[in-house]
């Protein structure tokens, strides 16, 4: 079977390890490596150029710049175990290294989620693909190893995909395993193989956190019914991992071309409605709070160790699905990946997570689609104070909160010419950004509330903030900075530029 479309995969590999006896490390750590070059089965060699890959972790932000040393083929750094995401900044390009020593730029499409979330565990390897589609080569820069390993994984061709038997050849059956199926030759008495989705209780349990976040009235979370109202909300966040342990791939297909997806004008991408249902149950079994997840990109996030399963990822945001032996992961940091527990009394509860609750997707076993995780909700702190420079009394989050801010060094009462356009930011690329900072711009020489701000921003490039504003009539502005999570450390060394008339 010949592919009509191919993809170039750049793998970031994170090899988790623990300090042994006599070691100097006091925490579980891993190493992240990014390979920049690889060869295809055709013999063509490609390299990522002009690329800045940001890796955001629990303690800091790493920027891999492919041009720091053009002769390097691999970038690496030691990292602590924890939750991470990658973000490939704009401006990257791919080039082909020809046998005659010439370099040829190539047209390429970036297929991976951007940003892309993943977890690093001690004593395990985590694969994170950066996927590009180019003319006719399928390349895997595998596991960040010193030797480049090439693997080619053939995706189903258009001729084998189907939605019913009429689209298949004589003697073939359309084995639907999602929104799309494959034309299959079945033996006498043989039935179509099916996928089987499950839910990881451990991932949900160990990723769970409770905190406050603020939402403006026009936020996507309100538009899509993920919170009960605007303003301050108390949320229980957690990650959801759904392994496919069945005998077939779950194939959803191109979200722009198949039924089952709906376009979200707010988020600017397609949703698969009803992928996950979240319920909080009290001691009597009554549901006291709910949540839901509209899947926007089901893909092969990580292998789950099933013998005989494919060794390389196949599905991505442009052609979605979960291979047999792979899992999709929705990180706790994603929008709507929570239950709104505003007003829920403190106490012990069960968090119930159900995948494919309406049985929209065909599976061999629906009985393993639900897990229940014990959770304890503590007493909530008092309402956050209105002074933005005062300390927050509880782990409130979000750019709309009015506590836990500080004035950026060098950016108190800055003079400017009224009506000029000013850009301020940290790490985009000016200034320095670590962890998940936010920024607020105030009119005048002092701090301001969210309602009075000239501009307020959380994420502009990955987790780093940048915003534009017009110098006010007062001719003075002040910049505030804070961590998205009020109790978390952060760095936001601000840089400002003034637009040239």
Tens of pLDDT, residues 236-276: 988 899 999 999 999 998 888 888 788 777 766 677 777 88
Query: When comparing pLDDT for 314 and 324, which is higher?
Result: 324
Are 95 and 106 within 8 A, CB to CB?
A: yes
Kind of pairing between the strands at 414-415 and 476-483? antiparallel
Q: Tens of pLDDT along 126-135?
A: 556 666 667 6
Average pLDDT score, the chain? 77
pTM of structure: 0.56
Report the SS3 class of residue 19: coil
Kind of pairing between the strands at 396-397 and 209-215? parallel
* Nearest Cα residue to 411 out of 466, 481, 459: 481
Q: Tens of pLDDT along 197-240?
A: 999 998 888 888 888 887 888 788 888 888 988 888 899 988 89
For residue 33, pLDDT beyond 70: no
Please give the torsion angle defined by the CA atoms of residues 257, 259, 265 and 271, in that order, rounded to the nearest 10 degrees.
-110
Structural domain spans, the chain: 8-141, 201-377, 396-498
Residue 204, H or E segment: helix 201-207
**Average pLDDT over every residue of 434-459:** 87
C-alpha pair distances (Å), 30 with each of 25, 77, 81, 205, 326: 11, 9, 6, 22, 22
* Nearest Cα residue to 460 out of 410, 495, 489, 415: 495
Which stretches within 208-260 are classed as H helix?
220-223
Kind of pairing between the strands at 8-17 and 139-141? parallel
CA-CA distance, 39 to 134, in Å (whole number)? 13
For residue 144, pLDDT beyond 50: no
Q: Tens of pLDDT along 52-110?
A: 777 776 666 666 666 555 555 556 666 777 777 777 777 778 887 766 667 788 887 77
Q: Which residues contact 288 (CB under 8 A, 6 or more apart)?
A: 280, 281, 282, 344, 349
* Nearest Cα residue to 324 out of 440, 196, 198, 419: 196
Going by pLDDT thresholds of 50, 70 and 90, the confidence category of residue 370 is: very high
Are 490 and 483 within 8 A, CB to CB?
A: yes
Are 55 and 435 within 8 A, CB to CB?
A: no
Tokens representing residue 30 in the block: 């891993």
Q: Tell me which fold the domain 396-498 belongs to.
A: Jelly Rolls (2.60.120)
């Amino acid at each position: 079977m010949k592919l009509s479309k191919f993809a170039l995969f750049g793998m970031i590999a994170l090899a988790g390890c623990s300090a042994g006896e006599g070691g100097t490390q006091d925490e579980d750590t891993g190493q992240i490596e990014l390979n920049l070059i690889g060869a295809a089965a055709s013999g063509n060699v490609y390299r990522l150029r002009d690329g800045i890959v940001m890796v955001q972790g629990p303690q800091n932000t790493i920027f891999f710049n492919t041009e720091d040393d053009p002769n390097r083929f691999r970038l690496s750094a030691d990292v602590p175990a924890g939750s991470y995401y990658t973000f490939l900044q704009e401006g990257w390009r791919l080039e082909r290294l020809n046998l005659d020593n010439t370099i040829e730029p190539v047209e390429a499409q970036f297929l991976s989620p951007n940003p892309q979330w993943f977890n690093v565990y001690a004593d395990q390897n985590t694969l994170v693909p950066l996927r590009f589609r180019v003319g006719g080569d399928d390349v895997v820069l595998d596991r960040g190893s010193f030797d480049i390993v090439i693997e080619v994984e053939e995706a189903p061709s258009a001729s084998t995909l189907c939605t019913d038997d009429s689209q298949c050849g004589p003697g073939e059956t359309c084995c639907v395993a999602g929104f799309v199926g494959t034309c299959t030759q079945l033996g006498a008495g043989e039935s179509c193989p099916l996928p089987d989705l499950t839910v990881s209780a451990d991932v949900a349990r160990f990723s769970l956190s409770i905190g406050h976040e603020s939402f403006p009235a026009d936020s996507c979370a309100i538009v899509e019914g993920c919170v009960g109202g605007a303003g301050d909300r108390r949320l229980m966040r957690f990650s959801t991992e759904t392994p496919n342990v069945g005998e077939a791939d779950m194939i959803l297909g191109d979200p722009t071309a198949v039924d089952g997806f709906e376009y979200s004008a707010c988020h600017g991408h397609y949703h698969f409605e009803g992928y996950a249902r979240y319920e909080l149950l009290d001691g009597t079994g009554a549901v006291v709070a709910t949540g839901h997840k509209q899947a926007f990109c089901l893909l092969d996030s990580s292998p789950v160790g099933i013998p005989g399963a494919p060794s390389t990822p196949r599905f991505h945001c442009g052609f979605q699905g979960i291979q047999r032996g792979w899992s999709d992961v929705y990180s706790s940091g994603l929008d709507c990946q929570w239950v709104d527990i505003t007003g829920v009394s403190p106490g012990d509860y069960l968090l119930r997570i159900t995948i494919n609750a309406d049985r929209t997707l065909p599976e061999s076993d629906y009985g393993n689609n639900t897990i229940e995780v014990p959770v304890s909700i503590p007493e909530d702190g008092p309402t956050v104070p209105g002074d933005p420079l005062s300390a927050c009394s509880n782990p409130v989050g979000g750019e709309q909160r009015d506590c836990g801010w500080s004035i950026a060094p060098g950016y108190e009462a800055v003079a400017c010419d009224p009506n000029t356009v000013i850009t301020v930011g940290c790490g985009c690329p000016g200034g320095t950004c670590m962890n998940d900072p936010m920024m607020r711009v105030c009119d005048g020489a002092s701090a301001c509330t969210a309602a009075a701000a000239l501009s307020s921003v959380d994420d502009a490039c990955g987790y780093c903030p940048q915003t534009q504003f017009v110098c006010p009539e007062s001719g003075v502005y002040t910049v505030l900075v804070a961590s998205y999570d009020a109790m978390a450390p952060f760095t936001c060394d601000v840089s400002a530029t003034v637009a040239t008339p």
